A and B are shown apart, each in its own frame.
Chain A
Amino acid sequence: MYGGDEVSAIVVDLGFHTCKAGYAGEDAPKAVFPSEVGSIDQMEVDDTDKSDKNSGSALDSKSKGKRKLYVGSQDMGFRRDHMEVLSPIKDGIVVDWDMVENIWDHALSSYKLNIIYLTCYGAISVPPPNIKLKILLTGRKCLLIDPKEHPMLLAEPCFNTQLQREKSAEIMFEKYQVPALFLAKNAVLTSFASGRATSLVVDSGGGSTTVAPVHDGYVLQKAVATSPVGGEFLTDCLLKSLEHKGLPIKPRYAFKRKEIRPGEFQVVDLDFPNTTESYKLYSQRVIVGDIKECVCRVPDTPYDETSYSNIPMTPYELPDGQTIEIGADRFKIPDVLFNPSLVQTIPGMENSLETLSFVRGLPQMVIESINKCDVDIRRELFSSILLAGGTASMQQLKERLEKDLLEETPQAARVKVLASGNATERRFRVPLVYYNCNRFRLMLETNLSVNTAFGSVGAYWHLLVPSSKCGSPSLSEFSCLSPHALLLQIYIYSRFINLYAVVMTGMKSMELLISNANAPNMLSCSTY
């Protein structure tokens, strides 16, 4: 019933630094935007609020109920007073699901969905109370799809916990009512995308670097190695290093650049005392991140201060027109990936890695990970090391890693590091968007019984029904049915809600239109 290529699956990968979303089978993600979210507390700061916040993380998200979140490159690019920049992910684990929902909303589409939510909460004959048109009309979405019609594939990190999976499934089924959901490990996807069922995936992304062996399509969990040194970390190192050299990075919002005469520009500093520290850092990181991508290069041999002291400088023009010159840092910063102890020589970053003794360089992580695998597959892993993630597309990283590994591996091993041909692909961790929907489809057609054939897949297949607020049968009423019937019933059920929503909004839409004629984003209502 979901079969056929005409319904393509949606793939969403929420990374530490960027969130990627797109259609399965396409070459690049349709939507790419920062994973960080801007937040303004709507609530006036009062004492009860403060005490709530201190009382624990579980309450935390509730007490922040009245904050307004801004998602997406456009919204984040605009400076607002008191806007804090927060990340929903910490150490690869989602800590704030409210933000994640907002990010998913942004990536998919939310207005249809919210109408359904509204009707769910009100009784059929009574107009739904407290209609908040605001939610209805946040229509600045990236994919503009109805999540109810598309199977969903979420890429998850290798070390995702059971709890995280449950929560993602819950939101996906209850809130977005996706017809089907699959959570795939991103290392497996990378491996498949390169045509290999067995490989060692070195994924160096924004927040961390992960080395994961994949064998016949499964991640060997015990051999996964991670380190906190990722793109963001290198960006911070570069930022600190530049500041130390007396080259402060002026965020884009902090000045105005006017052309006073043709070819001549005048920079006027602006002062916004209400800008938060975190937003300033965010804007600086955007710039420094670009400097890093433009000039940095992994050195061919381990970095040492003396031989790189006379390296020619590379110019980079900052947004305010000032040109800075970057010398040894070009090589020193990327070398932190290979030799984390270098951090101690970067002013301002000395204590950033408290557990420095546990953080190893990239080649050591690779070797350690391979050595934890079965002897029989080590040779194969050495000969198919795949690079993925944004940081891994750094110039010369592939060559350096290959060279370092050759020096440290047993003679018989044939080391081969592979990176996908084009840097964009690598950056978006190749795998995701290309994931074929066949695997998916089959699972749907043959239903849940397939799971057993898959072993672990069964563990994160959850079928949840909408919450009881909607007056739906509870989960236990469904559980006596065969998987097939269950799926069918849920399908019909979601159809019903859909229909109901249309009827409800059909009646209500005129009223809404009239009562909110002044609302600026009214247009999206006309779809109904």
Chain B
Amino acid sequence: MANAASGTAVHDDCKLKFLELKAKRNYRFIIFKIEGQQVVVEKLGSPGDSYDDFTASLPPNECRYAVFDFDFITNENCQKSKIYFIAWSPDTSKVRMKMVYASSKDRFKRELDGIQVELQATDPSEMSFDIIKARAY
């Protein structure tokens, strides 16, 4: 199914894996990439993985989309989780790649129903753990 902005389609697997993350909590994170005109799943993180494992899985010179399931304890001491969508486009990646990812993002995000927080990051400091925490509450 070709779609809007950039002509990038979304592979069904992306939606299925995201549903598993959301409903069954099978994965800690999912990393997506655009390959041959469509968004596909690149990597799945096991539920035991930490945030550092997640950031280490993002390539330093290439753009990616990622979904991260963040567990935290609120001020009222109750266990909660939030699903983050992160558009990772480092400054050092190719401009063409940045263009494709930025223009396809809106559409792809709409496919993933249930995202609570959205971030765009161009360097690691923009998606540091502190920022993730600050956005959770």
Q: Which chain A residues have a beta carbon within 8 Å of chain B's beta carbons?
A: 25, 27, 191-198, 216-217, 380, 383-384, 416, 418, 420-421, 430, 434-436, 438-439, 441-442, 445-446, 450, 453-454
B99 close to A454 (CB less than 8 A): no
Number of A-B pairs, beta carbon distance below 8 Å: 88
A283 to B105, CA, bound (A): 46
Residue on B nearest A421 in the bound complex, by CB = B91
B95 close to A434 (CB less than 8 A): yes
Residue on A nearest B97 in the bound complex, by CB = A195
- CB B20 to nearest CB in A, in angstroms, measures 26
A436 close to B120 (CB less than 8 A): no
B99 close to A434 (CB less than 8 A): yes
B102 close to A454 (CB less than 8 A): no
A321 to B6, CA, bound (A): 53
Residue on B nearest A440 in the bound complex, by CB = B7
A27 close to B95 (CB less than 8 A): yes
Given A25-B96, A436-B99, does the pair A195, B5 have CB atoms closer than 8 Å?
no
- CB B91 to nearest CB in A, in angstroms, measures 6
A435 to B96, CA, bound (A): 7
Total number of B residues with any Cβ neighbor in A under 8 Å: 27
CB neighbors of A among B6-21 (8 A):
6-8
Chain A residues with Cβ under 8 A from B120's Cβ? 195-198, 380, 384
A438 to B36, CA, bound (A): 11
B7 close to A438 (CB less than 8 A): yes
Residue in A196, A418, A450 with the greatest tally of chain B CB atoms within 10 Å: A196
B5 close to A439 (CB less than 8 A): yes
* Residue in B89, B91, B98, B103 whose CB lies within 8 Å of A439: B103
Provide a sorted-by-A list of 11 A–B residue pairs whose CB atoms are within 8 angstroms. Answer: A195-B93, A195-B98, A195-B122, A198-B120, A216-B106, A421-B91, A435-B99, A438-B37, A438-B100, A442-B7, A453-B4
- CB B115 to nearest CB in A, in angstroms, measures 13
* Residue in A198, A438, A446 whose CB lies within 8 Å of B6: A438
CB neighbors of A among B73-101 (8 A):
87, 89-91, 93, 95-96, 98-101
Chain B residues with Cβ under 8 A from A421's Cβ? 91
Given A438-B6, A439-B5, does the pair A196, B102 have CB atoms closer than 8 Å?
yes
- CB A371 to nearest CB in B, in angstroms, measures 21
B95 close to A193 (CB less than 8 A): yes
A446 to B52, CA, bound (A): 42
B122 close to A194 (CB less than 8 A): yes
CB neighbors of A among B28-63 (8 A):
37, 63
B7 close to A195 (CB less than 8 A): no
B102 close to A191 (CB less than 8 A): yes
B103 close to A436 (CB less than 8 A): yes
- CB A212 to nearest CB in B, in angstroms, measures 16
A430 close to B6 (CB less than 8 A): no
* Residue in B7, B87, B95 whose CB lies within 8 Å of A441: B7
A450 close to B63 (CB less than 8 A): no
A191 to B103, CA, bound (A): 10
Is B2 in the interface zone, CB < 8 Å from A?
yes
A128 to B123, CA, bound (A): 62
Residue in A195, A217, A416 with the greatest tally of chain B CB atoms within 10 Å: A195
- CB A30 to nearest CB in B, in angstroms, measures 16
